[in-house]
Amino acid sequence: MSFYIKNKKYELFISNLLVFLLTTFSVADAQDAQGGQSTGTQDSQSTGLCSSGNVFDSSTYDLRLHIGALFIVLCSSSLGAFLPVISKRSPKLKFPSHIFFACKHFGTGVIVATAFIHMLPSSFEALSNECLPEVWRNYSAWPGAIAMMSSSFIFFIEYVALSYTQNDIHETLPTSHKNELDLTITNSDESISADKDFHHSHAHAHGTLVLLTNKTQSIGIFILELGICFHSIIIGMTLSVTTGSDFISLLVALVFHQMFEGLGLGSRIADLDFPKSSIRPWLMSLAYGATTPFGIAIGLGVRQSYNPNSATALIVQGILDSISAGILLYAALVELIANDFIYDPKFRKKPTIYQASAFLLLLLGAGTMALIGYWA
């Protein structure tokens, strides 16, 4: 599959992704229908545990409160995602560097915990439900397998993208720099210094030259946001069909969840080297801020017919959470943690207190999100 780096187009990748999601919904519907037609007594009993009818109770559903929750989550998500970008782009509102530093590494911990604490357990719970068809119940490792395939797929996409990026670098550099780049690749003791106009940075670790160009980092953040958005739609729909005291606790937990996660993602977006006139950082922040409210809006629209306990809903939720977990695990561990702590020579030259603070913030972010996972 081609990935058009030069023109900065992701249409092919997104179109294939949409086709996959539509196929997933179709397969889930087919399996849900087949579940009720099982010939075996055990399959008939287990499939019957899934409620296929409407469980909506208008007497306990506060529509105004749910609509208000949409705007509350919209504000908290947007605040977290836009704040670092605004600070980076507006000199008058620029945050001190230590605050930006804290948001960046704290947010990385939040993203890692989101995959391990929120997505993977949710997908295992959904896909291990006894009411699902036999193909899901007979293999308990479906969530892990799907997450593994998702991570492998993203790795392949990024590998191809990095190959195109490196070719672009070699073609655009002057002859002297081309020779220097070739010499550096063959001799691990040397390093290159690219022109400022090209905005290239590099890292040198274990004799391997890792080019961290702006294009490559943009792809990594795009992949990270994609995984987050999948999960955000699911939790938005879950919030919109939740009632009673569970709704309040889930809403409070979701507000903090979205704000912390938005700060982590927003600091990464702000760190990208976009032109001052570019609207891409604003669009990326807007996409994150609007995704969970979009999921809430979908849930509000289908609240009278949507049943989160049906086989279709459980399969779709489990698959999407597994895909999101795989994407986030790869992006967080490879794109964020490895690049920040291992492959960044500037970080390794910082004072010990600086490095220790980064590690502590990473653990604090992960621990905070793990604690929030008790409620959401």
Whether 37 maps to a domain, the answer reads no
191 alpha-carbon distance from chain centroid: 33
**Is it the case that residue 103 has pLDDT exceeding 80?**
yes
In whole angstroms, what is the distance from residue 274 CA to residue 85 CA? 11
**Is it the case that residue 70 has pLDDT exceeding 90?**
yes
What's the pLDDT at 231?
Answer: 83
What's the pLDDT at 228?
Answer: 87
Whether 277 maps to a domain, the answer reads yes
**Is it the case that residue 29 has pLDDT exceeding 90?**
no
| Most confident of the following: 21-30, 143-152, 217-226, 256-265 | 143-152
| 197 band by pLDDT with thresholds 50, 70 and 90 | very low
Tell me: the pLDDT tens digits for 278-336? 899 999 999 999 999 999 999 898 888 778 788 888 998 899 999 999 999 998 898 88
Whether 28 maps to a domain, the answer reads no
What's the pLDDT at 77?
Answer: 93
Whether 19 maps to a domain, the answer reads no
What's the pLDDT at 295?
Answer: 92
- The single residue listed with the structure tokens 């017919």 is 305
Range of the domain at 255: 60-179+205-375
What's the pLDDT at 185?
Answer: 44
Whether 29 maps to a domain, the answer reads no
| 227 band by pLDDT with thresholds 50, 70 and 90 | confident
225-242 burial, b at 16+ Cβ within 10 Å, e below that, comes to bbbbbbbbbbbbbbbbbb
In whole angstroms, what is the distance from residue 106 CA to residue 218 CA? 20
- Please tell me the number of Cα atoms within 13 Å of 71 on its side-chain side: 4
Q: How many domains does the chain have?
A: 1
In whole angstroms, what is the distance from residue 225 CA to residue 271 CA? 14
Which of 2-16, 85-99, 128-142, 355-369 has the weakest average pLDDT?
2-16
Whether 48 maps to a domain, the answer reads no
Whether 79 maps to a domain, the answer reads yes
Non-local (6+) Cβ contacts of 287 within 8 A are 225, 229
Whether 15 maps to a domain, the answer reads no
